Amino acid sequence: MTVPRSTLRLQFHRGFTFDDAAKHVDYFAALGISHLYASPVTTAEPGSTHGYDTVDYTQVSAECGGEAGLRRLVDKLRAHSMGLVVDMVPNHMGVSGSGNAWWLDILEWGRHSAYARHFDVDWHSPDPALRGKVLLPTLGAPYGDELAAGRIALDFAADSGRFCIGYGPHVFPVCPTDYAAILQSAERADLSALAERFNGLTTQPTDQPRAAEGRDELREFVAQSGRAAIDVVLQAYAPDDPVTRDRLHRLIERQHFRLAWWRTASDEVNWRRFFDISTLAGVRVERPEVFDAVHALVFRLYHEGMLDGLRIDHIDGLAEPREYCQRLRQRLTELRDTAPYVVVEKILGRGEPLRDDWPVDGTTGYDFMNDVGALLHDPAGAEPLARTWTELTGRSPRFADEAVAARRKILVENLPAELDRAARALHRIARDSLTTRDFTFTTLRRVLTELVVHFPVYRIYPQNGLRSATDNLYFEQALAGARAALSRADHAVLERVNAWLGGSAEDMPGARPGAPQQPAQNGMPPSHAGSSRRSAQTLFSQLTAPVAAKAIEDTACYRYGRLLSRNEVGSDPGEFALSVERFHAGNLERSQRFPHTLLATATHDHKRGEDVRARLAVLSEIAEDWGATLRAWSTLNAPHRRALDGKPVGSVGQDTGQGFGQDRSDAWAPGPAAEAMLYQTLVGCWPPELQPDDEAGIRKLAERVAQWQLKALREAKLQTNWLAPDEAYEAGCRDFLFDILAPQRRDGFLKELFAFVARIGRAGVLNSLQQTLLRLASPGIPDLYQGTELWDFSLVDPDNRRPVDFAKRVAWLAQTPPSEFLPGWRDGRVKLAVVQRVLALRAHLPELLSQSTYLPLVVRGAHASNVIAFARRHGNAWAVVVASRLAAGLLGDDGDLPMVDPVQWADTAVEVPSDLSARALFDWLSPAAPKVDENGLLYLRDALAAMPIAMLVEDGVPRG
């Protein structure tokens, strides 16, 4: 297997192509990267900035440079002995435009399309209007309004000879079975002759080649005769006349799709989406022919040696993640002699293991990002910060309360169609048994709702229809929550649903009345019942996963603001801090189970940059002071609040009930919760070198924060949301932001904000350096996200996907020890130097940080709680990692360096293994060479004399 030493994630799009990346390969190599880690390279929707909306799995994206550009990039990488890992999206495809040939084919031919089973479409919808059809929730207004307004029309594509329904940029193919009637409507002999080619045509696969021949003739006819005849046809279906508009409507109604207002999607969509995004359709990659079609390109590229590994996106969206991983590993292994490197994007709950029967090398690193992020927080700050949050906002101090409310909201408003589909699957099982045939759909839906609302992780992974012990650990939590929420009358139904969803092999549906009973075999159900159960289990799993993502990451994390540094993808904001012991336990588990897993602290999906989170974590150490600061700033900026209609509060009469303080304490924009989150965001993302009198810099910051604020407000789904934006409220929030950051506030709020950031800035940098070193030195493969080798004060996308100034980074590469750059820490060079230096050690002694033993080290002395230390050992080579932590109280108010005065450490020391007693250790990050005393103690006053972190190396090589 080609295991990376380190990876660097790049986001490709037409503004940053493969050739653009190739220009920087020299830099990536000098930085110490062994493998680039690319966003999806397959063809996506035109203009895609991320590549996750694939429309053609068989072609490399032309916008990114095409296959030729990709080969040029790989050639450049190979010249530097580097490799390429690419992101793969097997779960869904983009279906919003006209570029997805598979999707267009099922719109044209319906259930008889060659691709009808490629997508997860329910062709047997209980809605008669959708049976055999695909709902297309594309229209900007109700169907009747759009039709009457003439925005829906029949069109003809001369290049393909196809009739289609056009709506703005959208193109929906008309089934060729209607071509005869369409052509005959012009009452022209030449067109009637062409119509004969389509008479008697059916949708059966055997008839489809005849339709293709007829389209070819039609295309040739138009090419030779011009469009005049076709324009006559189109006029017969013109939407501007009631008679022809009715004819157009009846034509549309005969198609294999139903055009609908976009608001119908949540309630009526009859195909699996990616989360609640109606422009991304779920792909049935569990089917062998679909698996082969989806992976044909990457398999070929891997076979040709262009790829070294894959990152699998959203593994929990697949029907059978285990089987998928097994099939993928097997196919890749067959293609090359070396084993492939494969990691999966998997969100793990605390204590939830990555399954051993998935033949992968680990995750994309969210679990490590969660661990190292929680390690930066002082547990003592949890209670006072929660109290402040509740006092200021009136919202619950517990994240779990927000999570349950958000799950319920997502099920009711965003994913009710998916909930209905899963409930129907359970209802079908119930109807198959005499004992459960009276379980109503409504009851089953109610029970299912509570199970999903209380489900604590993304999903279960039943095998042969039964849940594992690990599955049951989490399912029992959901059962307990559902029992508490449901009436006793529903408990019997809940227990039966528990059995159907993998809880029992005994309680199986019987045959229908009058049919002979089929005995179970080997304790397993009859085949039809087993199939029904597996279908229900899959639908349940494909419901809990998007509910978790949408409710936690995209809703509750924007509602709960105890401390935003814990509101991150893959994290549970209810878990405030992690002890050193538990961090070590996580590293030990990774070293033993998945030693090649990725270690991330920043991703293309993060909500706040790694250094934003590191700075905000300092607030956990000064919780009471931060609470007082929040209250003071809220009072200071109260005059800038807006009424909910966006007008200044002062212009609203207090006796009208429209202002604040009448019926609700938060009846103003932005409201106390959004305002408190805004202050945290400003503190967290303030650039280290920005001065309060820099009007252009402040304006640039305000624009970035305004972009974050709009997304945050809509994701919270309280006063406004994506489906029904309250634009007046949003404008009021934006005005509030720009008012408090206005130039005239430079001696008021801006001065106070700047002073507060300066106060915690050094502690934030110390956290950042600690986090960086732990990522680079812990068991696993360190992953860098583009540009984050310098300070990463980005916010949620698109802010975290801004262009990277690689020229600056190239210029700042140096062989100088990082400690030399510590005095100028504001420019970020010290972070770049740490990254470069430790990656150089990984190249110099590759086994030391990849195949070594992980040893947690004990720290003792006055400030033992302010240190984390561990050792890595391979043979005679050692590396001892030491980092300051929770050090805000030790930094003091004097000095400008983000490190504890060595004298402050007093008797604090690390107990090192006896093998290192009385030996000098050379610091990889500074000129220091601290010595372990004869008692095996490494004193912090020596180890951390030049930097707040240390990478002490003893390589076992005799020195003269």
Strand partners, 167: 152, 170
Instruction: Say whether pLDDT at 619 is over 70.
Output: yes
Q: Please identify which residue in the block is written with the tokens 């956290």.
A: 767
Residue 95 near residue 281 (C-beta atoms within 8 A): yes
Residue 776 has what pLDDT?
A: 98
Record the pTM. 0.94
Residue 48 near residue 830 (C-beta atoms within 8 A): no
Residue 594 has what pLDDT?
A: 97
Q: Which CATH number fits domain 7-91+283-364: 3.20.20.210, 3.30.230.10, 3.20.20.80, 3.40.50.920?
A: 3.20.20.80
Per-residue confidence at 254, pLDDT binned at 50, 70, 90?
very high
Fold of the 849-954 domain: Immunoglobulin-like (2.60.40)
Instruction: Say whether pLDDT at 596 is over 90.
Output: yes
pLDDT digits (tens, 9 = 90+) for 370-403: 999 999 999 999 999 999 999 999 999 999 999 9
Q: How do the domains of the chain map onto residue ranges?
A: 7-91+283-364, 101-277, 396-558, 615-757, 849-954
Residue 302 has what pLDDT?
A: 97
Strand partners, 42: 60
Strand partners, 781: 598
HSE-CB for 125 with a 13 A CA cutoff? 24
Range 643-657 average pLDDT:
58
Instruction: Say whether pLDDT at 958 is over 50.
Output: no
- 762: exposed, middle or buried (Cβ count in 10 Å: 0-12, 13-18, 19+): buried
Residue 512 has what pLDDT?
A: 42
Give the closest residue to 39 by CA, choosing from 28, 27, 52: 52
Helix extents (H) in 741-845? 749-777, 806-812, 829-844
Q: How far apart are CA 686 and CA 618, in angstroms?
A: 14
- 226: exposed, middle or buried (Cβ count in 10 Å: 0-12, 13-18, 19+): exposed
Q: What is the 3-state secondary structure (H, E, C) of 483-515?
A: HHHCCHHHHHHHHHHHHHHHHCCCCCCCCCCCC
Cis previous bond, 670, omega within 30? yes
Provide the token pair at 927. 């000129």
Q: How far apart are CA 431 and CA 703, in angstroms?
A: 57
- Helices 727-740 + 672-685 axis angle, to 10: 50
Residue 649 has what pLDDT?
A: 75
Range 437-451 average pLDDT:
98
Q: What letter would DSSP give residue 197?
A: G
Residue 105 has what pLDDT?
A: 98
Q: How far apart are CA 236 and CA 183, in angstroms?
A: 10
Q: Which of 188-197, 239-248, 781-790 has the lowest mean pLDDT?
A: 188-197
Range 423-448 average pLDDT:
97
Q: Which amino acid is at 922?
A: F
Instruction: Say whether pLDDT at 511 is over 60.
Output: no
Instruction: Say whether pLDDT at 664 is over 60.
Output: no
Q: What is the H or E stretch that residue 708 is in?
A: helix 695-716
Residue 919 has what pLDDT?
A: 81
Residue 333 has what pLDDT?
A: 95
Strands 909-911 and 937-939: antiparallel
Q: Which CATH number fits domain 101-277: 3.30.9.10, 3.40.50.300, 3.30.1590.10, 3.30.1490.20?
A: 3.30.1590.10
Q: How far apart are CA 587 and CA 782, in angstroms?
A: 13
Instruction: Say whether pLDDT at 273 is over 90.
Output: yes
pLDDT digits (tens, 9 = 90+) for 745-761: 888 999 999 999 999 99
Per-residue confidence at 666, pLDDT binned at 50, 70, 90?
low
C-alpha torsion sign, points 433, 436, 441, 444: negative
pLDDT more than 70, % of the chain: 95
Torsions phi, psi for 791 (to 5 deg): -55, 140
pLDDT digits (tens, 9 = 90+) for 23-77: 999 999 999 999 999 999 999 999 999 999 999 999 999 999 999 999 999 999 9
Residue 237 near residue 185 (C-beta atoms within 8 A): yes
Q: How far apart are CA 782 and CA 8, in angstroms?
A: 9
Residue 894 has what pLDDT?
A: 79
Torsions phi, psi for 58 (to 5 deg): -95, -5
Residue 602 near residue 802 (C-beta atoms within 8 A): no
Provide the token pair at 84. 């390429």
CB-CB neighbours of 605 under 10 Å: 18
Annotate 772-800 with DSSP letters as a single string. Answer: HHHHHHSSSEEEEETTTTS----BSTTGG
Strand partners, 163: 156
Range 477-496 average pLDDT:
98
Provide the token pair at 669. 């924009």
Residue 509 near residue 532 (C-beta atoms within 8 A): yes
Range 280-284 average pLDDT:
98
Per-residue confidence at 663, pLDDT binned at 50, 70, 90?
very low
Instruction: Say whether pLDDT at 509 is over 70.
Output: no
Strand partners, 119: 283
Task: Compute, in degrees rounded to 10, the torsion defined by CA atoms 765, 766, 769, 770.
Answer: -140
pLDDT digits (tens, 9 = 90+) for 288-329: 999 999 999 999 999 999 999 999 999 999 999 999 999 999
Mean pLDDT for the chain overall: 93
Residue 530 has what pLDDT?
A: 78
Instruction: Say whether pLDDT at 521 is over 70.
Output: no
pLDDT digits (tens, 9 = 90+) for 844-875: 999 999 889 999 999 999 999 999 999 999 99
pLDDT digits (tens, 9 = 90+) for 161-177: 999 999 999 999 999 99
- 8: exposed, middle or buried (Cβ count in 10 Å: 0-12, 13-18, 19+): buried
Provide the token pair at 498. 């528990």
